[in-house]
């Protein structure tokens, strides 16, 4: 939502301040002030504009609470975000993330399924990929494969990364994947920047017994996340912890 899209007022001002805040307690304060202001603006602000601003304010409040370590409060704000009628898929996906961090995987799967249900075509593949990861973590192998199948057919699918995710699914479920060496070569040749591809590459390499190669990739993944925004670090918490633990097990503790 751009500045020119709405009629400005106190709630919009608070939203902009919250979005610019680095410190989560200040971010939460501005978000709550904006929500109170939005109630007072209800008589004059267009309903659609008010819903959009409230949705983004609830999102800011949820993320700030999560960064403050107040997960249950973050979940409550996320539920309110879900009910605003805009960015509904994003709201449910963020609710799924909080539930995952709270170690409530079955509820996280339900929330992610809602994200898929409400997703526009441009975001469906990503939400299905996330759903497959949650299903894999609960050993729902058949469901995870089905979600990856749907993700590959959706608009804008990243076929290479989805293939890498399926490879890891097969390793966990079946103990092997005959296509893994060829896939590792494709990932290597893709020349991707530091990011999630390095994490997937590192895990596949380790499964294939290429420990040194896997360690280098996992180190690149960790290095690429240094200085990341706090919310991104929270979302990738499990991957970051897994990478560090695997490096320790392989005798190459991260610096």
> Looking at 63-67, 72-76, 193-197, 215-219, which range is the least confident one?
193-197
Residue 77 has pLDDT above 80, yes or no: yes
Task: Quickly state the pLDDT bin for 43 (edges 50, 70, 90).
Answer: very low
Contacting residues for 192 by C-beta, under 8 A, at least 6 apart: 198
Collect all residues with Cβ–Cβ distance below 8 Å to 198 and sequence separation of at least 6. Answer: 192, 217, 218, 220, 221, 224
* Per-residue pLDDT at 252: 66
Question: Is 114 part of any domain?
Answer: no
**The pLDDT of residue 50 is above 90:** no
Percentage of the chain with pLDDT > 70? 92
Based on the domain organization, do 78 and 163 belong to the same domain? no
pLDDT of 45 strictly over 80? no
- Distance CA(117)–CA(146), nearest Å, equals 15
Q: Per the domain annotation, does 136 fall within a domain?
A: no
Q: What is the rounded CA–CA span in Å between residue 223 and residue 230?
A: 15
Query: What are the backbone angles phi and psi of residue 4, rounded to the nearest 5°?
Result: -75, -10
Contact residues for 243 (Cβ-Cβ < 8 A; gap 6+): 199, 202, 218, 221, 222, 254
Decide if 96 is inside a domain.
no
Confirm if 53 and 11 have CB atoms less than 8 A apart. yes
97 pLDDT above the threshold of 90: yes
Task: Tell me, rounded to whole angstroms, the distance of Cα 126 from its chain centroid.
Answer: 9
Residue 214 lies in a domain: yes
- pLDDT of residue 242 exceeding 70, the answer is yes
Whether 186 is in a domain gets the answer yes
Could you give the C-alpha distances from 94 to 16, 18, 71, 77, 168, in angstroms and in order? 20, 18, 12, 10, 24
Which residue segment(s) compose the domain that 23 sits in? 9-86
Domain for residue 93, yes or no?
no
In a domain, 15, yes or no: yes
State the DSSP string of 74-128: HHHHHHHHHTTSSSHHHHHHHHHHHHHHTT-HHHHHHHHHHHHHH--HHHHHHHH
Number of domains, the chain: 2
Q: How confident is the model at residue 191, as a pLDDT?
A: 74
Which of 35, 62, 86 corresponds to the end of one domain? 86
- CA-CA distance, 3 to 31, in Å (whole number)? 17
Lowest average pLDDT, out of 42-51, 151-160, 227-236, goes to 42-51
8 pLDDT band, cuts 50/70/90, is low
Pick from 61-65, 124-128, 200-204, 227-231: least confident = 227-231
The pLDDT of residue 213 is 94
Picking from 36, 66, 86, the residue at the C-terminal end of a domain is 86
The proportion of the chain whose per-residue pLDDT surpasses 90, expressed as a percent, equals 84
Predicted confidence band of residue 109 (pLDDT cuts 50, 70, 90): very high
At 140, the pLDDT band (50, 70, 90 cuts) reads: very high
Query: In terms of domains, do 164 and 245 share one?
Result: yes
- Which of 86, 103, 127 lies at the terminal end of a domain, its last residue? 86
Q: Which residues of 33-63 are buried (b: 16+ CB within 10 A; e: fewer)?
A: bbbebbeebeeebeeebbbbbbbbbbbbbbb
Span 93-107, average pLDDT: 97
Determine, yes or no, domain membership for 100: no
């Amino acid at each position: 939502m751009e500045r020119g899209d709405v009629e400005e007022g106190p709630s919009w001002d608070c939203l902009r301040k919250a979005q610019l805040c680095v410190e989560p307690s200040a971010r939460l304060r501005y978000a709550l002030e904006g929500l109170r202001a939005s109630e007072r603006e209800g008589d004059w602000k267009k309903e659609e504009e008010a819903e959009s601003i409230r949705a983004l304010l609830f999102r800011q409040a949820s993320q700030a609470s999560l960064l403050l370590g107040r997960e249950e409060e973050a979940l409550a704000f996320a539920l309110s975000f879900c009910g605003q009628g805009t960015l509904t898929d994003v709201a449910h996906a963020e609710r799924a993330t909080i539930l995952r961090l709270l170690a409530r995987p079955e509820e996280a799967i339900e929330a992610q399924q809602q994200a898929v249900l409400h997703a526009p075509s441009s975001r469906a593949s990503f939400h299905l990929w996330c759903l497959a990861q949650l299903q894999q973590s609960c050993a729902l192998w058949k469901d995870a494969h089905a979600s990856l199948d749907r993700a590959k057919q959706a608009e804008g699918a990243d076929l290479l990364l989805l293939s890498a995710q399926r490879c890891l699914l097969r390793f966990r479920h079946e103990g092997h994947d005959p296509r893994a060496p060829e896939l590792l070569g494709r990932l290597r040749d893709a020349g991707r920047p530091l990011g999630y591809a390095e994490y997937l590459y590192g895990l596949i390499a380790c499964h294939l017994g290429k420990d040194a190669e896997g360690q280098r990739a996992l180190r690149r993944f960790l290095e690429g996340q240094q200085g990341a925004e706090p919310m991104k670090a929270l979302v990738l918490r499990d991957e970051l912890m897994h990478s560090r633990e695997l490096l320790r097990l392989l005798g190459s503790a991260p610096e």
